[in-house]
Amino acid sequence: MTVVITLLASDNAKNRRRARRAAERESTESIKCATLGSKPRVTTQAVRKPIERVVKAVSSTEGYGRQLQKAISHHEPIAQKREEKQRREHMKVRNPLGQQVNARQKMRGKSIPLI
């Protein structure tokens, strides 16, 4: 076991702690290797690209994607009809004389001073 000591540019408590913890890590790792008789585990990276789960679920023809397509095809015409009805009612003149009224409610009483 070789110990490599590196001096950092600024010798402060934080850097000393980091160096101390690195030394502890190395010693515990060497003890593990000696007791287990194996090298430390090598971290590997995935070669394949990650798949976005939402896109996969929605785009699939089975299961959830099919269920979503069925729900959309059922509810979309209903939503369009509702929007058209609201638009027509908004434009509709409800006054029997055919006049559009822009009125405000009259204030009935005046405020009484609290004396």
pLDDT tens digits, 73-106: 999 999 999 988 877 766 666 667 666 656 666 7
d(CA 68, CA 50): 23
Q: DSSP character for 63?
A: T
CA distances 90 to 52, 70, 93, 99, Å, are: 42, 31, 8, 14
Q: Tokens 């959309």 — which residue?
A: 72
CA distance 72 to 96: 40
Q: Which residues of the chain have pLDDT under 70?
A: 1-9, 38-46, 58, 60-61, 89-95, 97-105
* Torsion of the alpha carbons at 44, 49, 51 and 52, rounded to the nearest 10: 100
Model pLDDT, residue 113? 75
Domain boundary assignment for the chain: 1-41, 51-90
Q: What is the pLDDT of residue 22?
A: 93
